[in-house]
Structure 1
Amino acid sequence: IGREAVDLLSFLGLTVTVFVRTLLHPWRIRLVPLIAHMEQTGLNALPIVGLISFLVGIVLAYQGADQLARFGAQIFTVNLVAVGVLREMGILLTAIIVAGRSGSAFTAQIGTMKVNEEVDAMRTLGLDPMEVLVIPRVFALVLVLPLLTFYADLMGLLGGAVMATIVLDISFFQFARQLNDAVTLWTFWIGIIKAPIFAFIISMIGCYEGLQVSRSAESVGRQTTRAVVEAIFLVIVLDALLSIFFSVIGI
């Protein structure tokens, strides 16, 4: 475990170095794979992210209304849904979905290339696998996950508004007015700020585990499973730490 942690930290440092170097020399970015990965990780994920976020908004509103009704405070269901979705559930669920969907895809794609000796062929041709395989995926997810989080927030709030209308007879206008009173701009930005951090971790782990694949098909499946588990675990740990940090500084 210790050796694995050291190797992962070394790869993290290498990824950050190449990432910053690419930012300083943007002409090194490979646009075609970048756009392809943005489509794969972002556009193709919209249906599942939207559906799950909408359903979570419904569940939060229903459970919140059921509990708050005992105290005659049903209107604060809007506050519960708004803060829950914008600060935590929107980004956390989106990151977990992306870790299971895109993180595993990164590992499987790079791992299959490793099995077929395509990565070795790249090095023979003088190409850096970090620039060709890793950085386009990292950039794509860092750009896409904040947008997916914004979309998840909207769908979660929509689900909460629909359930509030059905169960509490709160109109969309009343929901919007209470929403405006319940949240500040920072409530929204906290979730968005977390997104690129989670995106970097998910993509980095997915690529790292892909490059760890040995020359067997069984290894691809094993490393893909490890990538998903590690990414989800680190996302939840980071989310907890960031939530504590934001609470301590008062936002």
Structure 2
Amino acid sequence: MTPTTPGSAQLDTTVTPAQLRVAGDWTLAHYTALKQLSDALHGQYDASTRVDLNGLGALDTAGASLLVELLGSERLGQSTEHPDCTLPAADRALLKTVYGALTDFCVPVKAPQANVGIQLLSRIGRAVDAVWQDTLQLLGFIGLILETLVRGALRPKRWRLTPVVAHIEQTGLDAAPIVALLTFLVGAVVAFLGATVLKSFGASIFTVDLVAFSFLREFGVLLTAILMAGRTASAFTAQIGSMKANEEIDAIRTLGLDPMELLVLPRVLALLVALPMLTFLAMLSGIIGGAVVCALSLDISPAMFLSLLQADIGVQHFLVGMVKAPIFAFLIAAVGCLEGFKVSGSAESVGAHTTSSVVQSIFVVIVLDAVAALFFMEMGW
């Protein structure tokens, strides 16, 4: 193994002009000592000082960077190109590369940080623009669904009844137990709270009206729609999104088939049938839950509960709740299918759009329910 000689740099003032003699191994192993030597020699020579590199031994990138720091890129370039320089070509190339890199390097300029208020307004603006773009896409997709539905109505042979029945089973029958259980419990809770509050006014009997009004007009359809938004819209997005990621939708178009007619329309029709049925089941379950609490806590028998229900509650309250069910069903199916078509091609995209479909569906359902409640109240229905 060849012994290493620590690098050195000495300023020879016995000759005129003065000469800086560089010798030894300028490598990473001697970096600490060479750095101290470089700092000590800094400022002891001027532009007229010559540099002698003929005694230089081994050289690596660390040593080359110290030589550039000690001598400067311009002086080092002149020294390596001097006719008397016997430095090997490989070392000359290394020095040239290092001082070229250090010369070209510049510290990146940090972008000025915007004001917090400007950043907040910018984020709000981007969010509003995103909501507007999503709204336009949803309206366009709804128009495309309606156009496909009208074309299909004029051609009964193209109706796909088997997928519609299969989706009715998935979205309706399979969801019936959870809808019934949830609304039963919510009906019991509403009756219990109503009885607790109305008891202090001696009006516990009106708990029957409270349960019936709330479930026939609002809670039945709203709870069912929210459950369908979380259960069915996400399923539609995941199913269509997986097909989009696997390029199955492109294959469907290649075969000359319409993805709207094949994938979207059966799901929309199925939910248009399933959601009103589930809404009716939710109304019954909620009222039954309230009747159980009334029977156990208020001594209101089932027969008395039904007589009060028949005397005080008109059929228009039932119709107000049911008329909203098809609208919610159509929008939930449209949002779920649209987000599925937005999937790009990765599993992450499928998850992101599935989450987005649930959020958008619930948001649309609640907003429309609030608008409908105000409309019906103003109309006196």
Please classify the TM superposition score into its range, dividing by the shorter chain length.
Answer: over 0.9
Distance 1:129 1:198 in 2: 23
Q: 1:45 aligns with which of 159, 175, 187?
A: 175
Distance 2:154 2:143 in 1: 17
Residue equivalent to 1:121: 251
Say if 2:138 and 2:334, in contact at 8 Å, map to a contact too: no
Q: Percent identity?
A: 57
Residue equivalent to 1:187: 317
Distance 1:31 1:120 in 2: 23
Is 1:36 aligned to 2:169, yes or no? no
How far did residue 5 of structure 1 move?
Answer: 2.3
Distance 2:186 2:222 in 1: 12
> Where does 1:150-165 land on structure 2 (aligned, <5 Å)?
150-165=280-295
Is 1:62 aligned to 2:195, yes or no? no
Residue equivalent to 1:178: 308
How far did residue 19 of structure 1 move?
Answer: 2.0
Residue equivalent to 1:168: 298
Is 1:16 aligned to 2:146, yes or no? yes
Distance 2:154 2:204 in 1: 52
Is 1:141 aligned to 2:258, yes or no? no
Q: CA RMSD in A?
A: 0.9
Is 1:106 aligned to 2:236, yes or no? yes
Q: 2:338 aligns with which of 176, 184, 208?
A: 208
Residue equivalent to 2:226: 96
Say if 1:149 and 1:195, in contact at 8 Å, map to a contact too: yes
Which of the pair has more CA radius of gyration? 2
How far did residue 243 of structure 1 move?
Answer: 1.1
Which one-letter code corresponds to 1:153 in the other structure? Answer: M
Distance 1:196 1:51 in 2: 22
Distance 1:158 1:220 in 2: 39
1:95-117 CA-partner distances (Å, limit 9, x unpaired): 00001000100000000000111
Distance 1:242 1:27 in 2: 37
Q: 1:82 aligns with which of 189, 196, 212?
A: 212
TM-score, with length taken from structure 2: 0.65
How far did residue 10 of structure 1 move?
Answer: 1.0
1:3-50 CA-partner distances (Å, limit 9, x unpaired): 332222211111122123323434322011101100000000011000
Distance 1:133 1:166 in 2: 49
How far did residue 165 of structure 1 move?
Answer: 0.4
Q: 1:222 aligns with which of 341, 346, 352?
A: 352
Give secondary structure in 2 for the equivalent of 1:233: helix
Distance 1:20 1:193 in 2: 21
Q: Which shifted more, 74-83 or 26-35?
A: 26-35
Distance 1:234 1:134 in 2: 19
Give secondary structure in 2 for the equivalent of 1:42: helix
1:109-152 CA-partner distances (Å, limit 9, x unpaired): 00000011100000000000000000000000001111000000
Name stretches of at least 5 consecutive residues in structure 2 with no aligned partner. 1-129
Q: 2:363 aligns with which of 230, 233, 236?
A: 233
Distance 1:34 1:193 in 2: 22
- The structure that is strand-richer by fraction is 2
Which one-letter code corresponds to 2:286 in the other structure? Answer: G
1:219-240 CA-partner distances (Å, limit 9, x unpaired): 0000000000000000000001
- The structure that is helix-richer by fraction is 1
Give secondary structure in 2 for the equivalent of 1:71: coil
Moved over 6 A (4+): none
How far did residue 163 of structure 1 move?
Answer: 0.3
Give secondary structure in 2 for the equivalent of 1:131: helix
Q: Which shifted more, 102-111 or 175-184?
A: 175-184
How far did residue 248 of structure 1 move?
Answer: 1.5
Say if 1:82 and 1:182, in contact at 8 Å, map to a contact too: no
Distance 1:24 1:237 in 2: 34
TM-score, with length taken from structure 1: 0.98
1:52-86 CA-partner distances (Å, limit 9, x unpaired): 00001100100000000011111100000000010
Name stretches of at least 5 consecutive residues in structure 1 with no aligned partner. none
